[in-house]
A and B are shown apart, each in its own frame.
Chain A
Amino acid sequence: MLKQGLIFSRLHLAAVSLCILFSVSVSVADAVTGAGVDELEKLSIEELLQVEVLKVYGASRYEQKALEAPANVTVITADTIRQFGYRTLAEVLQGTTGLYVSNDRNYQYLGYRGFSRPGDYNTRVLVMIDGVRLNDAVFHQAPIGFDFPLDLRLVERIEVIRGPSQAIYGNNAFLLVVNVLTRPIPQTRQFEADLYQDTRVLTMGGISGGGTLPNGTGLLLSGSLFHTPGSNLYFPAYDDPATNNGNAQHADYANGGSLFMKAQHGRLSLLGGYLSSRKGIPTAAWGSTFNDNSTRTIDERYFGDLSCQLISGATADLKLRGYLNAYNYSGYYAPQYHDYSRALTVGSELVGHVRLPWRNTLVAGVDYRYGAIVRQGDNDGYYDNRNGSNVGLFAQNEFRLLDNLLLMAGLRYDQFAGNLSSLNPKAAVVYLPYQGLALKYLFGTSFRSPNAYEAQYQGSSYRINPSLKEETLYSHELVLEYQYEERLRLVLSGFQYDYRDMISQTVDSNGLFVYENSERYRTRGVETELSYRGRGWSALLGHTYQHTYGLLGSAHATVNSPRNLMKLRLSRELAGPRLVLTGELLYRSAVQTLDPAVTIGEATIVNLTLSSRDLIAKGLDASVSIHNLLDRRDYHPGAAEHLPIAQIPQDGLTVAARLTYRF
């Protein structure tokens, strides 16, 4: 304890001296912050062209002001990602109010307002890149860790749309939607090389290039690689000489790479991506041999989208798109078990919005998806291959009854394979009593059909449940949002979520995993987010208090359901935007694991990043990050496949450096 304290105080000193060191050498930049007319006037037109307008797209599928959007939306910009040293989408989301991530050292799972049950995949979150769905056809899993197929350097902004958005996006938009928008194709030729290294020997690198060809086609290409041998981890549950005294050595490795391309010619745009990643599993999951580093999963994803903007304008637009999304999984579990899945979905979508008379804005679309390959199997002889289609029709109308009163109603009908269908309404009232103040009431329902894995998987130690049906969510949310000149934003939200017939993994009397519609929960909570942008600094404080309880004897309501979540993000410009110091504090209260005897205590993780842009040399970005500055020992609850390991250790203090050169 004493030693820990000593290390901590050294770090503490180091951090403070770092601040002081940089504060001495800074010069006062010549421009001004804030963005009133007087301040903007001092900028040249070139600089004005670089100023962002804060709007959101994903809430209603057309660009609208965040304040008026019929949703509770958070936008994370490329600058925030760079300045806070985020390496994965999971880290970006972890820093977002109301969200938390559980890492079982194989995949990462997103929790939202107290809901993240170990054993569930990311099936209740829809993750998209430029509108292309990434949730696959077998597991419906949304990738957020190293399996996310896009280098974060290519992100322009990320929109997190809280609450169900099923009425526009269909299946998987059950709890929230994460819409990742890639950066625009540069007008003139631009290249970028990036290198990252940290003390856990994680190495990442990437190159990208883009520009406009002589025929007017814009093109952006990128490739990235990552590699880490992983940490050596200690698991008390295996502390026995026969299992290397509980030490899993070289079993936590990860490596892989991704490619991304985006092209635009006139109204046509094409994008595509590919990812291959390999992850060692150090937890002896699924009864595999402990400390055998041949236990691993291999993920391969590719996606593509060809879209044509048939009509474009402020008053109407219409977009036709065709897309494909594929996910191949292979799992190898020592000594000799192997299972796999293959999924390929092709789809087409026609979506548009139009401003109608009497101040109505209508968004409508039709979405057709065909699961061309939905295959699962293992080396014990299990094999299942099927296909199926899903048609969705949706319409949403926003009616501006008064200058300051908006009414929104939407409805989506989905027809799934296996004669499942769903009708999901959504409604919102947005009232703007004063300039900058909005009161919103949001209502939505969500429906999630069981994925192929839950409904059909019959591999080793699994039993299928032929009567498995869909699960539903009813949500009510009241939001008060206040915004003052883009400087101050306050969001207060009260919510109630009713989860019905939740598809839950249970273990039957023969010890086999089986999915049942067995759980019913209610979550009530309050969320607050306050952000302020001052001269040269900004701060964000987010807090979520929630209480989830099981109805009708549901058992797992409190597992991995922290009552309190807090996020504090601070950012300070030391030499204008060229040198920025950021600090992030993530607090999570205690959580219950699947083992009733094991509760994980509260955790506070502090991360610091110092990043420079164009400071050392023009085009050169350099940053240094300290992740988990306090070196707190944290654990995340694991699913049943990891038992007897109920809590999975997380990374301690990590120092990272990153260099990016743009030319």
Chain B
Amino acid sequence: MNCTVWSNICCILCSILFVVSPVVAQPRQAVEYDLKAVFILNFARFVELPRDTGNVYTVCYAGGEQVRTALGGLRGKLVRTKPVEVRECTTAEEVRSANLVFISASERRLGRELLAAVRDKAVLTIAEHEGFRAQGGMIQLVPVHNRIGFKVNLAAIRGAGLRVHPQLLKLAQEVEE
């Protein structure tokens, strides 16, 4: 191929990139747990606790490296004026003092114990695995084709004395009364 053609091609393709003014765009793809972490943050904001005690909003999780990294990104963000604190939990004791607990799919066995520990307590429970809501869990993150959706167990939320914003229910895949 002669070099005039190459230079012309390069010129056209570069013009696509650089002639146009810089703009910013909406994200359309994300790392799975980054996306889930932000869903969790939104759930924290849309579900009100009965007594807002303490100076921080504690998010407790059971999960692997990816969950740790992603949820770590929520540290310091605000939920109703309180900064988020994130910590890993392995015992029932640790969970009871949290405001929100997230159990990843790989930790479902441990999740069952943690869930039992906070039953009817004012702790928002979120997980990914099937059967979580049947065990009394509150919000389940579910895959919807290539995206993420969520299902809500409203009975469990109300049973624990929590108040959920109607907008959240409107966007849920499924709401169990």
Contact = CB atoms under 8 A, between A and B. Distances in A.
Interface string A559-578: 00000000010101111110
Contacts of A240: none
A157 interface: yes
Contacts of B95: none
Contacts of A37: 34, 37-38, 70, 73-74
B15 A536 contact: no
Contacts, number: 199
A597 interface: no
A511 interface: no
Given A23-B20, A312-B130, A48 B39 contact: yes
A385 to B, nearest CB: 42
Interface string A377-408: 00000000000000000000000000100000
B96 interface: no
B27 A19 contact: no
Interface in B69-119: 69-70, 73-74, 77, 105, 108
A581 B171 CA distance: 33
A63 B146 CA distance: 9
Nearest to B142: A314
B19 interface: yes
Contacts of A629: 12
B37 A49 contact: no
Interface in B128-146: 128-131, 143-146
Nearest to B31: A486
A310 interface: no
Contacts of B30: 35, 40, 51-53, 486
B11 A50 contact: no
19 contacts: A9-B8, A19-B20, A23-B21, A26-B23, A29-B23, A29-B26, A31-B26, A36-B34, A45-B42, A53-B143, A55-B32, A485-B31, A486-B30, A535-B25, A536-B24, A568-B13, A572-B16, A577-B25, A629-B12
Given A37-B34, A576-B26, 15 more contacts: A32-B24, A32-B26, A37-B70, A38-B73, A40-B30, A40-B38, A45-B167, A48-B39, A65-B32, A184-B145, A314-B143, A315-B105, A435-B65, A536-B25, A604-B1
Interface of B: 1, 4-5, 8-9, 11-13, 15-17, 19-32, 34-35, 37-39, 41-42, 46, 64-65, 69-70, 73-74, 77, 105, 108, 128-131, 143-149, 167-168, 171
A608 interface: yes
B35 A51 contact: yes
Nearest to A18: B15
Contacts of A45: 39, 42, 46, 167-168, 171
B152 to A, nearest CB: 12
Given A19-B19, A31-B27, A51-B28, A570 B35 contact: no
Contacts of B29: 35, 51-54, 486, 533
Classify the interface of chain A: helix, strand, loop or mixed. mixed
A313 interface: yes
A531 to B, nearest CB: 12
A34 interface: yes
A169 to B, nearest CB: 21
A585 B39 contact: no
Contacts of A630: 5, 8-9
A79 B28 contact: yes
A570 B25 CA distance: 15
A478 to B, nearest CB: 25
Nearest to A182: B145
Interface centre among A41, A65, A606 (most CB of B within 10 A): A41
A43 B27 contact: yes
A10 B25 CA distance: 32
Nearest to A629: B12
Given A22-B20, A26-B20, A35-B30, A48 B25 contact: no
Contact of A19 (B15, B23, B25): B15
B34 A574 contact: no
A470 interface: no
A28 B20 contact: no
A582 B148 CA distance: 28
B24 to A, nearest CB: 6
A8 B2 CA distance: 14
A8 B8 contact: yes
A542 to B, nearest CB: 15
Contacts of A314: 105, 128-130, 143
A585 B11 CA distance: 12
B145 A577 contact: no
A226 to B, nearest CB: 28
Contact of A574 (B20, B77, B129): B20
B39 A12 contact: no
A577 B25 CA distance: 6
Contacts of A2: none
Contact of A34 (B4, B27, B69, B131): B27
Interface centre among B30, B65, B74 (most CB of A within 10 A): B30
Contact of A20 (B1, B19, B74): B19
Interface string A576-605: 110001110100000000000000001010
B13 A583 contact: yes
Contacts of B13: 568, 570, 583, 585, 606
A535 B144 contact: no
Contacts of A181: 145
B35 A53 contact: yes
Nearest to B70: A37
B79 to A, nearest CB: 12
B26 A313 contact: no
A15 interface: yes
Contact of A51 (B15, B25, B27, B70): B27
A337 interface: no
A538 to B, nearest CB: 10
A40 B27 contact: yes
B48 to A, nearest CB: 16
A35 B12 contact: no
B27 A15 contact: no
B148 A53 contact: yes
Contacts of B28: 50-52, 79, 577
B146 A55 contact: yes
B162 to A, nearest CB: 17
Given A54-B29, A314-B129, A602-B1, A575 B149 contact: no
B97 to A, nearest CB: 24
Given A48-B35, A51-B30, A630-B9, A582 B16 contact: yes
3 pairs of A and B residues whose beta carbons are closest in the complex: A37-B73, A35-B30, A313-B130
A156 interface: yes
A19 B16 contact: yes
A276 to B, nearest CB: 30
B26 A40 contact: no
Contacts of B46: 45
